[in-house]
Amino acid sequence: MKPVVAVFAHPDDEVFGPGGTMAIFAKEREVYVICVTDGDAGMNSLKDDDGTKSLGEIRKEEMRASAASIGVKEVIFLGYKDGTLCNNLYHEIAAKVQTQIESLEPGIIMTYEPRGVSGHIDHITVSMITSFVFERVPAVEELWYYCMSEYARSFQKPYFIYFPPGYKDSEISKVVNIEPVWDQKVTAMTKHESQKHDIDNILGAFRHKRKEEYFIILKREDLPKTNTE
């Protein structure tokens, strides 16, 4: 089976988001993650950090360990600065993502839905770039947009200035039951020790809601036809 390639902005986005689905995919095909930044602008929950490593270096190590826990074969870092993606040339980032996609030859690529799930501008940028690449690599069959349902959104605590609403059931293409891999997802999440503040919030919400992940799936045949005449 063709690989799955997930494209995300920061270390931990992959497992805090669709990590359960990625673990399920990894049981039957190769899974890769392209991480556009090293997350160096994030918060640091490590109480014993001696400062010998930058936060970006710490988070890259955490991501490799976390990804391995859910069966990811390789994490590819593109090296952009956290929080600045909207200030970069989009086509430059897209070209780097496209090079990796063409090399890995996936059947499915995965990223955030167009609102970035949380509204983070880096997430929105990566969603746009991945959508752009999907249109330009015909060998990729489907683009899976990870999203939050209205049900899941109802458990979300205040975050940033504004957290976008969840999607209606009628807008969601696929609901993945991650109960069978829940422990694996939690183990992978805990590898991101520097982000314990976020882990506690996410696990707190999941104590009360269904173990599910949600996707809007765009198929190759669903792309709008371009009139080039």
pLDDT tens, position by position, 92-112: 999 999 999 999 999 999 999
Within a domain: residue 229? no
pLDDT tens, position by position, 167-184: 999 999 999 999 999 999
* Residue 119 clears pLDDT 70, i.e. is over it: yes
* Residue 51 clears pLDDT 70, i.e. is over it: no
Within a domain: residue 66? yes
Within a domain: residue 228? no
Give the per-residue pLDDT at 194: 78
Average pLDDT over the chain reads 89
Within a domain: residue 227? no
Is the pTM higher than 0.85?
A: yes
Q: Which domain covers residue 118, as residue numbers?
A: 4-222
Most confident of 7-16, 43-52, 98-107: 98-107
Q: State the pLDDT confidence band at 229, using cuts at 50, 70 and 90.
A: very low
Domain count of the chain?
1
11-39: b (≥16 Cβ within 10 Å) or e: bbbbbbbbbbbbbbbbeeebbbbbbbbbb
Contact 162, 128 (CB under 8 A): no
**Domain CATH for 183:** 3.40.50.10320
Within a domain: residue 164? yes
